[in-house]
Copies of this chain bind each other. A is one copy, B any other.
Amino acid sequence: MMPELQTAPFSACDAIEDTAAQWFFDLRDQICAVFEAIEDESGGATEPGRFARKSWNRHNEDGTPGGGGEMALMKGRVFEKVGVNVSVVHGRFPEKFIPEIPGAAESNGDFHACGISLVAHMRSPLVPAVHMNTRMMTTSRRWFGGGTDLTPTCPDPADTNDFHAALRACCESYDPKWYPDFKAWCDRYFYLPHRNEARGVGGIFYDNLCEDDAERGFAFTRDVGKTFLSIYPRIVRRTMHKPWTEEQKTHQLIRRGRYVEFNLLYDRGTRFGLMTGGNVDAILMSLPPDVHWP
C-alpha cells in the first residue's frame, strides 16, 4: 500500500499518474514481501533480513515541494544489500537539460515522473545480482521506460536462459519486435567501453515507449514488474543454497567493481540524478556493499 503520508505531498496530476504511482508502490510492497520470505526460508545462523523504509521529500530549485519517495533497504543473509526505491516527483527541469528531454520545451520544462528502482547485491557469488527499474515520465508528452538485467558473478546458462525467456514472453504478448529490440538496447546500454566488457548478461531496456498509447505502455510496464517477480525470486531460491568458494567470493567483489565503474561513469540515471540534486542515498543505493579493486 502507498502509505498515507505519501499521497498528499507526492501529488499526481491526473488519473493515470495516480494509478501509476499506486502501482509502483504496490509492486514495491510485493517485492519486499517476497524478498523477506526468501530471507526466512533460507535458514542459516544469522537473522533473516528485513527491509527498513525511509521516506524523503524533494524540493524544486525555487523551494516549492517537488514530491519525494521512499527507500527500502535490506541487509540480509541472502540479500547482502538490496534497495528498492519508489518515487513520485514533479517540477521543472534545469534549463540546460530541457533540449535533451522529449516534450520538455513544450511543457516549459515541467515534468512529472514516478517509478520504481531496485538493485540487489547477493551474499552468495552464485546468486546473480539484479537491477530492475520502471518509470512513467510526463512532460508535454508521456512515455514509459525501464527494464531489468542480470549480473551474475559466475554466469549459469540456466539462470541466464530462464531470465531471458521470461522477458521474451513478457514482450512478445505486445509486439514481436520488442524483445529483440529491448534486449539489444540493454546490451548496448550496460556496456563498459573502457573495459570492452558487458556489465552482466543482459535483459531488456526500453525508453520513450508508447507515447501514443499510455494505457498500453503502462500495461507493459506492469507486466515487466510482474515478470521480474515471477523469475528473479525463482533464480534466487534455486541458487542460494549452493556452496561457493572463497575464490568465487573474491571474484564477486572484483566484478562488483565493474558495477561501480558502470554506474558512476556511464549510468544516465545516476549521473543525471546526482547532477540535478536528486536524493543521494536513494541514487547510490545501487552501489554494492563490499567491493575490491585488485
Q: Which of A194, A253, A271, A287 has the most CB of B within 10 A?
A: A194
Complex CA gap A275/B194 in Å reads 7
Any chain B CB within 8 A of the CB of A158?
Answer: no
**Which residue of the partner chain B has the closest CB to A270?**
B265
Residues of B within 8 A of A290 (CB): 253, 290-292
Question: Provided the pairs A284-B293, A293-B288 are in contact, do residues A264 and B274 lie with their beta carbons within 8 angstroms?
Answer: no
**Which residue of the partner chain B has the closest CB to A278?**
B194
Residues of B within 8 A of A238 (CB): none
Any chain B CB within 8 A of the CB of A195?
Answer: yes
Out of B81, B274, B289, B294, name the residue touching A194 (CB < 8 Å).
B274
Kindly supply a per-residue 1/0 record for chain A positions 249-287, scoring 1 wherever the CB is within 8 Å of any chain B CB and 0 otherwise: 000010001001100110000010011000010001001
**Which residue of the partner chain B has the closest CB to A73?**
B294
Residues of B within 8 A of A292 (CB): 289-291
Residues of B within 8 A of A257 (CB): 287
Residues of B within 8 A of A289 (CB): 292-294
Question: Provided the pairs A257-B287, A287-B257 are in contact, do residues A195 and B293 lie with their beta carbons within 8 angstroms?
Answer: no
Residues of B within 8 A of A253 (CB): 290
Additional 7 contacts, C-beta under 8 A, given A260-B264, A288-B293, A289-B293? A194-B275, A195-B280, A257-B287, A261-B264, A261-B284, A265-B274, A289-B292
A275 shortest CB reach to chain B, Å:
8
A269 shortest CB reach to chain B, Å:
13
Residues of B within 8 A of A261 (CB): 264, 284
